[in-house]
Amino acid sequence: MANMTDVAKLANVSTATVSRVIQNPEAVKEKTRIKVLQAIEELNYQPNILARYFRRTETKTILVVVPSIVNNVFPQMIAGIDLVAGQHGYKVLLGNTYQDPEKAYSYIEELKQKQVDGMILLTTRLDKDVITDIAERYPVVLTSDFIEGLNVPTVAIDNISSAREAVEHLLQLGHSRIGMITGPLNSLLCRDRLKGYRQALLANEVAIEGVLIQEGDHTYESGYNQMNKFLALEETPTAIFAANDSMAMGAIKAVKDQNMKVPEDVAVVGFDNIQFSKIFEPALTTIAQPLLGMGKRSMELLLKQIKGEPLTKKQLVLDTKLIIRDSCGYNKQV
């Protein structure tokens, strides 16, 4: 394989000129440029990218750390990231953590070792101090999952107000006994959705009952199980807010299995607007996150950091949207 020196010799110029033709063609006189280009053509020369990376200490690669790629929301965010990354000549390295913090830390090493130019965290089971430290020294963006009181560049939605909107929708439909199936409460994101639920009830002077709050783990099965707990209550809730769509579907399934109907007997609102939520029957009323957009914004924020541009806004909060379908009976009431 020909190298730059070979090209330089053939074109009768210095390697510096060859390099310039490649990196910054305007800096070279047209006559010379053509000469060099011909030599490149003739030798079928391709720059050694690895040498360039080494010399530049830059890899044009960013790392996306994600708990699991087999998931309904992450692939869409990754698609958004990839889209913007590609437009700017960056490649995307996949960092699956399999929920293991150790794994996540190992990815941070890659960042420290400059194997990647930046990192987007789509999750955070990481120590607060570690993240703060890393984010100060390297380009990092936190997406979706917030960490309280952290001054790290972040792209997220307002989980509190989104959840509040979902619950208020149920309240407006006349429900007052509303159960919630939360996600794992060790995550701030899930606590926020719970907080939104509480705020909605408080604002409407509806009492909050502990028995109407059950913690799930984001799976369909947990939705099913928690719903069964609700249905076993003496006074069952007439509406449910599930912290994600999978649990909402599980909950609906539980209702159906009791020969009851959704939305007639129990109304259900989900969260995420996963692809299947509109196919599911009844089609799910849910909160849509701008997943693709979050991915895009994250990458844009990361690029700014990589380029050393000042960040005017470190924390980006994107709008969500309540998608009204059939699972809470809105269409029938109107």
Is position 61 an interface residue for DNA (rule: CB under 7 A)? no
317 phi/psi in degrees, rounded to 5: -115, 115
Is position 284 an interface residue for DNA (rule: CB under 7 A)? no
Round to whole Å and give the CA distance between 156 and 214.
25
Judged by CB under 7 A, which stretch of 44-52, 66-74, 182-190, 261-269 contacts DNA? 44-52
Which residue of 37, 43, 47, 88 would you call a contact of DNA, by CB under 7 A? Answer: 47
Round to whole Å and give the CA distance between 233 and 210.
12
Per the CB < 8 A criterion, the answer to whether 117 and 306 are in contact is yes
Which residue of 46, 87, 151, 333 would you call a contact of a copy of itself, by CB under 8 A? Answer: 46
Judged by CB under 8 A, which stretch of 91-99, 128-136, 166-174, 308-316 contacts a copy of itself? 91-99
Round to whole Å and give the CA distance between 114 and 2.
27
What tokens were used for 47? Answer: 């720059």
Instruction: Count the residues of the shown chain that bind a copy of itself, applying the rule CB under 8 A.
Output: 41
Which residue of 34, 38, 42, 48 would you call a contact of DNA, by CB under 7 A? Answer: 48
Is position 5 an interface residue for DNA (rule: CB under 7 A)? yes
Least separation in angstroms between residue 326's CB and a copy of itself is 13
| Residues 236-275 interacting with a copy of itself (rule: CB under 8 A) | 249, 253, 256
Closest CA to 49 of 37, 58, 39: 58
Is position 40 an interface residue for DNA (rule: CB under 7 A)? no
> Is the Cβ of residue 42 or residue 257 nearer to DNA in the bound state?
42
Per the CB < 8 A criterion, the answer to whether 140 and 301 are in contact is no
Least separation in angstroms between residue 287's CB and a copy of itself is 19
Which residue of 3, 15, 32, 61 would you call a contact of a copy of itself, by CB under 8 A? Answer: 61
Site map (CB under 8 A) of a copy of itself, residues 196-235, x = contact: ------------------------x---------------
- Give burial (CB, 10 Å; 0-12/13-18/19+) of 26: exposed
Which residue of 34, 51, 202, 208 would you call a contact of DNA, by CB under 7 A? Answer: 51
> DSSP assignment, residue 152?
S
Is position 219 an interface residue for DNA (rule: CB under 7 A)? no
Per the CB < 8 A criterion, the answer to whether 182 and 189 are in contact is no
- Give burial (CB, 10 Å; 0-12/13-18/19+) of 205: exposed
Round to whole Å and give the CA distance between 312 and 137.
18
Round to whole Å and give the CA distance between 167 and 334.
18
Indicate which of DNA, a copy of itself, none lies near residue 86 (CB less than 5 to 8 Å, by partner kind).
a copy of itself
Round to whole Å and give the CA distance between 36 and 2.
14
**Helices marked H in 2-119 — which ranges?**
4-11, 15-23, 30-43, 49-56, 74-87, 101-112
What tokens were used for 309? Answer: 């541009």
Which residue of 15, 71, 115, 258 would you call a contact of DNA, by CB under 7 A? Answer: 15
Is position 70 an interface residue for a copy of itself (rule: CB under 8 A)? yes
Applying CB under 8 A, the residues found at the interface with a copy of itself are 46-51, 53-54, 57, 59, 61, 64, 68-71, 75-76, 78-79, 82-83, 86, 91-94, 96, 110, 112-115, 220, 249, 253, 256, 276, 279-281
Interface contacts to DNA, rule CB under 7 A: 1, 3-5, 12-20, 22-23, 27-29, 31-33, 45, 47-48, 51-52, 54-56
